[in-house]
Amino acid sequence: MIQFPLTSSNRFILARAFQDVPRVDIGIDCILEGSMGKVFVDDADHPTVFRMEQCGFFCCFAGDPSSPAAMRLIKDIPGFCMLMPSAPGWLELAQSVHGDRLEATTRYSFSAASLDRNRLNHLLETSPYKEGIICMDSDLFRNGFLDPEHCFELGDFDSNEDFLQRGIGFCILRNRKIIGIAYSFQVCTRGIEVSIFIHPDWRRTGMATALSARLLLWCLDRNLEPHWDAANPESCRLAEKLGYQPAGTYKAYIFSG
């Protein structure tokens, strides 16, 4: 398989190929804008099958699933990844190739249209954590406050500097380590994909609410959508507390090759 350069003409081809694939997060938009993510194809000049990858973990597919090239593309997926909703026929192909190594998981979609600044401001202003929230900056990276293995992933950002230029994050420190963080896991012109981490010792204390409210207010002040895609009931409850409205569920498939 060949990595597909995200040139203007190639992104036009991708937009057509993925036009009917459900947008459950902002990953497809990120790739179509050329801002982050990768695409692999069978032929760089005349592609017939496509695999989008975000952060080396999330994958979705388009093109002709009945072609020999589609079989190669499916066999070649990363050893541990999540298959997101794709064009018709691709899930069935993946199941025929990988069988019970694909494990279905339910994810929960939310709409940000109902977010309200007054509600978010109230959640932030009444939190005991408000004064301890700081915006991520170069000092956090330079002085070793971040623990990439546990609390923060650069994902498809090119570097720490790239994150600081294009992304956004708010965190709380204790003993020179981040114990809570809310940040942009992905970014495109219409918004961000929200990611939250709270150290286990500080969970269920309201820290996630305060950090999330701060991040969402930053987005709303800039007319950016803070996209929320939940993987568990705890994330769902937090989303609804913040003012998101449930927008249905979908199936994704974890592959452990």
> Quick one: which of 206, 211, 210 has its CA closest to 151?
211
Which strands sit side by side in the sheet containing 177-188, from one edge to the other? Answer: 134-135, 169-174, 177-188, 191-198, 225-227
Beta strands 80-83; 58-63: pairing state = parallel
Per-domain residue ranges of the chain: 2-107, 113-227
pLDDT value, residue 81: 93
Question: How far apart, in whole angstroms, are the C-alpha atoms of residue 185 and residue 55?
Answer: 9
Residue 211 host element (H or E): helix 207-221
Give the Å distances, CA to CA, from 228 to 17, 80, 136: 25, 23, 20
Dihedral of CA 192/229/243/210: which sign?
negative
Give the Cα-Cα-Cα angle 187, 70, 12 (nearest 5 degrees).
40
Domains 2-107 and 113-227 share a fold: yes
* DSSP for residue 143: T
Q: Cβ–Cβ contacts within 10 Å for residue 182, how many?
A: 28
pLDDT value, residue 34: 93
- Are 224 and 26 spatial neighbours (Cβ–Cβ below 8 Å)? no
pLDDT value, residue 56: 83
> Quick one: which of 185, 195, 190 has its CA closest to 231?
195
Tell me yes or no: is domain 113-227 CATH 3.30.360.10. Answer: no
Ordered mean pLDDT values, 10 residues apiece, the chain (257 residues): 95 96 94 95 96 92 95 90 96 95 96 97 98 93 66 83 95 88 95 94 96 98 97 97 97 92
Question: How far apart, in whole angstroms, are the C-alpha atoms of residue 15 and residue 31?
Answer: 9
Residues 6+ apart with CB under 8 A from 88: 65
If one looks up domain 2-107 in CATH, what number appears?
3.40.630.110
> Quick one: which of 194, 206, 184 has its CA closest to 130?
206
Task: Give me 116's structure tokens.
Answer: 């309200």
